[in-house]
Amino acid sequence: MQTRFISVLFILFFAIAPGCIDKFKPKKEIKTTCPVGIEPIRKVLFIGWDGVRSDALLASNTPTFDSLLQSAIYSFNVDRGPHTVSTPGWSTILHGVWPEKHRLTENSFKKNNYKQYPDIFQLLRRSKPNLGLATLSNWDAFLQITSEETYANRFDTDPEMTQEAIKLINECTPDVMLMHFDFPDDSGHEFGFDPSSLEYKSAIEISDYYLGLIMTQIYLREMQFNEEWMVVLTTDHGGQGTGHGGQDNITETRFVWYAVRTPNFTSTMISQGETVDLLPTMMKWLGVSSSNSGLDGTSLF
């Protein structure tokens, strides 16, 4: 996409400051305590870009994402498992088990088996009860996938969420911060999950712009305070046409991507991955063993 066109889109985006669509009535208890981190060096920032198809990501102009790949383990062919909607997808990633274990197959928490297969925050707190843990999202249901956080907040717009994330990073520096950007999924449902859709690609590019604002702060902190941030980027499903549910056998929907960056990783592309590996990877970075938790994945490093 041409730079001039992107600039126009950015200006339009800021001018109209669109709020993301309310998919569900808010149910999560909002907590706004600044979660002071206890880890002096290693931190985790997880960013979910909802509904970003691998080929559309590759076709988009994403300079910040591209720069992260220089020191990342990454793949554009990652199995996210069956039941190709958001709640099962994020649950697989943040509980580290396939739907067979967490039992979620639709955008509802009714059948969840979270008690037997706890989320990343609960697993981390077993070993390190005082960690600073934060989660920020456009979508209330994303906030319900984890628990025991110090901070949980829902935002109507990406600029507000990004601004708050930067504030948290600098004021209290949580040990783990989860962020979820819903705009690409909204755009895919409206204009098509396809690299030929300029609107869909621009939603991905705008998400990359916010990633850039956050990464600027992280690079500064790594230089000033010797911190080492693992930055995990991924999605929960792709899509075909303007949809993505019930498409377990469609490559464009089920097979997604991830990138796991640290300051000292060598750029490594994996030919085939699985989203269940992300949770053990993040736990290992923080020095917490994930064995004996019944997890389905293993650390990428």
Question: Which pair of structure tokens corresponds to residue 259?
Answer: 């990138």
* CA pseudo-torsion sign 132, 133, 135, 141: negative
Closest contact distance (angstroms) between CB of 137 and Zn ion is 11
Question: Cβ neighbours of residue 166 under 8 Å, at least 6 residues apart?
Answer: 213, 214, 217
Instruction: Name the residue nearer to Zn ion (CB basis): 99 or 132.
Output: 99
DSSP strand pairing (31-32 vs 151-154): antiparallel
What is the distance in angstroms between the CA of the first residue and the CA of the last residue of the chain? 35
Q: Is position 238 an interface residue for Zn ion (rule: CB under 5 A)? A: no
DSSP 266: P
Instruction: Name the residue nearer to Zn ion (CB basis): 132 or 239.
Output: 239
Instruction: Name the residue nearer to Zn ion (CB basis): 169 or 279.
Output: 279
Q: Which string of x and - marks every residue 1-20 that binds Zn ion (by CB under 5 A)? A: --------------------
Helix axes 278-285, 86-95, angle to 10 degrees: 40
The C-alpha atoms of residue 135 and residue 156 are separated, in whole angstroms, by: 15
- Using CB atoms, what's the residue nearest to Zn ion? 86
3-state secondary structure 124-162: HHHHCCCCCEEEEECCHHHHCCCCCCCEEEECCCHHHHH
Number of residues that bind Zn ion (CB under 5 A): 5
Q: Is position 96 an interface residue for Zn ion (rule: CB under 5 A)? A: no
Q: Is position 86 an interface residue for Zn ion (rule: CB under 5 A)? A: yes
Closest contact distance (angstroms) between CB of 15 and Zn ion is 27
Q: Is position 236 an interface residue for Zn ion (rule: CB under 5 A)? A: yes
* Chain CA centroid to CA 188, Å: 17
Q: Is position 51 an interface residue for Zn ion (rule: CB under 5 A)? A: yes
Closest contact distance (angstroms) between CB of 183 and Zn ion is 11
Element (H, E) at 214: helix 198-225
Q: Is position 182 an interface residue for Zn ion (rule: CB under 5 A)? A: no
Closest contact distance (angstroms) between CB of 117 and Zn ion is 20
Q: Is position 144 an interface residue for Zn ion (rule: CB under 5 A)? A: no
Segment near Zn ion (CB under 5 A), from 79-87, 96-104, 189-197, 266-274? 79-87
The C-alpha atoms of residue 275 and residue 92 are separated, in whole angstroms, by: 7
Closest contact distance (angstroms) between CB of 185 and Zn ion is 5
Instruction: Name the residue nearer to Zn ion (CB basis): 86 or 293.
Output: 86
Closest contact distance (angstroms) between CB of 250 and Zn ion is 15
Cβ–Cβ contacts within 10 Å for residue 3, how many?
8
Q: Is position 50 an interface residue for Zn ion (rule: CB under 5 A)? A: yes
Q: Is position 81 an interface residue for Zn ion (rule: CB under 5 A)? A: no
DSSP 299: -
Closest contact distance (angstroms) between CB of 236 and Zn ion is 4
Segment near Zn ion (CB under 5 A), from 105-113, 130-138, 183-191, 193-201? 183-191
* Interacting residue ranges for Zn ion, rule: CB under 5 A: 50-51, 86, 185, 236
